[in-house]
A and B are shown apart, each in its own frame.
Chain A
């Protein structure tokens, strides 16, 4: 259901359940499995995309209602999904969502957990949950709320309105709108360009600094940045010394 591929140290996860690429489980790929794959292959970046015409329509309604048969398991399963999205958001390599077609509900929540969102002109975004007597269950309310006014967030979450790519740019749901190119191709080239020749450690430190900026005070975040900087500088000094010794 999730296809995995690696191109130039960049991992690509593709939701394979066409046509709408419905998610069968909130934890659409087990965290431990994903972690093992990313770390084992020393991946420098990750892309999440959908197979065929769409990103993902989220969870299928029937499967959500089927889950309610056991309230306890449902909560556990939802929390596992949240933990997976939390893992993606805190990952110390860049994570990009390459989006075309529909990106609804849980699909949109996956996209909002990525660091970078790239979409095509035909992309459509929505939280249709309220139309079915539900609400976004994997952090979508929060993710939209931190980016927008209450008015805009409510319009989308309570109104259940569908928006297009240009509106998504305005609501800070999307970073880049790609024309004349597949979002996946664009995402791959973009990530290749920014990670090529960069040691994994630097990528990890930069991503860690971004996370610190969100979680720590200015002082704490500065102190951490200096610690990481000094560590890199020491490694680089040693490398240069060895290099000049070798050339002698």
Chain B
């Protein structure tokens, strides 16, 4: 199965579905992206032969996150408290977005984010919805929303608290600063740093290794199965 949408592509080969963000230069997550993601998620539900998902991006960066201007525009007439027709329609857009992320989080098959370059805001929240995160040494992370008078709205607070504890999550979210791969690893926000050019290959190797009889609850244990052979790249 192969799908080419405007902002992303999906290719299923030998059980592993490769989702690539594909909207250069920085794979911004705009309304078109979220609409494409929903379309993809709908087609993945119940798809036969899908045993793992690897998410990466074309270009230098994973993604720079949401389109702020567009988001603010959308939110003007949205929100859960609005009951007028327009409001309900827009509210559904936000609901759709988080439901797409929840699909990956709740999937029974391994979902792996292969991160190169910038991965901030909603993009980081997308990566946090995955079960595993591998990144290149050049990766940059952050949840800068509060510096724009907003907050992470797609699970970022919940996921960082689960991974690095409440105290660190409060700091990351309220400070809103960006940080590199080693700090992300130190705070358990990524699982492994691999050379940038091997991140996607390594993610596939890992996916192949663990996808049979995968149990999501045991996710941390699978990381211990990584052997030195998996880290030899050609």
Contact = CB atoms under 8 A, between A and B. Distances in A.
A206 B173 contact: yes
For chain B, what secondary structure do more than half of its interface residues adopt (helix, strand, loop), or is it mixed?
helix
Given A198-B174, A218-B106, A233 B75 contact: yes
B150 interface: yes
B225 interface: no
B84 interface: no
B155 interface: yes
B146 A202 contact: yes
Given A206-B174, A213-B162, A218-B106, A225 B79 contact: no
Contact of B76 (A198, A202, A226, A234): A234
A164 interface: no
B157 interface: yes
A117 to B, nearest CB: 7
Nearest to A231: B79
B151 A237 contact: no
10 contacts: A194-B175, A198-B174, A202-B151, A223-B98, A225-B155, A227-B81, A230-B79, A232-B151, A234-B79, A236-B148
B97 to A, nearest CB: 8
B116 to A, nearest CB: 27
Contacts of A223: 80, 95, 98
Interface centre among A198, A210, A225, A237 (most CB of B within 10 A): A225
Contact of B170 (A94, A212, A236): A94
B109 to A, nearest CB: 17
B151 A221 contact: no
A229 B157 contact: no
B149 A222 contact: no
A115 B151 CA distance: 19
Interface residues of A, number: 42
B107 to A, nearest CB: 13
A40 interface: no
A228 to B, nearest CB: 6
A207 B174 CA distance: 10
B154 A225 contact: yes
Interface of B: 71-76, 78-81, 91, 94-95, 97-98, 101-102, 105-106, 146, 148-155, 157-158, 161-162, 165-171, 173-175
Interface in A202-248: 202-203, 205-207, 209-210, 212-213, 218-219, 221-223, 225-237, 239-240
A226 B151 contact: no
Interface string A105-116: 000000000011
A24 to B, nearest CB: 29
A194 B154 contact: no
A172 B94 CA distance: 36
Given A226-B80, A226-B94, A235 B167 contact: no
Nearest to B149: A236
Sorted from nearest, which 3 A-B pairs have the closest CB atoms? A229-B153, A233-B75, A213-B158
Interface string A122-148: 000000000000000000000000000
Interface in A54-95: 94
B153 A116 contact: no
B37 to A, nearest CB: 15
Given A226-B80, A229-B94, 6 more contacts: A190-B171, A202-B146, A207-B170, A223-B95, A225-B153, A233-B72
A219 B102 contact: yes
B170 A206 contact: yes
A232 B157 CA distance: 15
A176 interface: yes
B151 A228 contact: yes
A230 B167 contact: no
Contacts of A195: 174
Contacts of A94: 170, 174
Contacts of B151: 202, 205-206, 209, 225, 228-229, 232
Contacts of A234: 75-76, 78-79
A94 B166 CA distance: 10
B150 A222 contact: no
Interface centre among A207, A213, A219, A231 (most CB of B within 10 A): A213
Contacts of B154: 222, 225-226
B174 A194 contact: yes
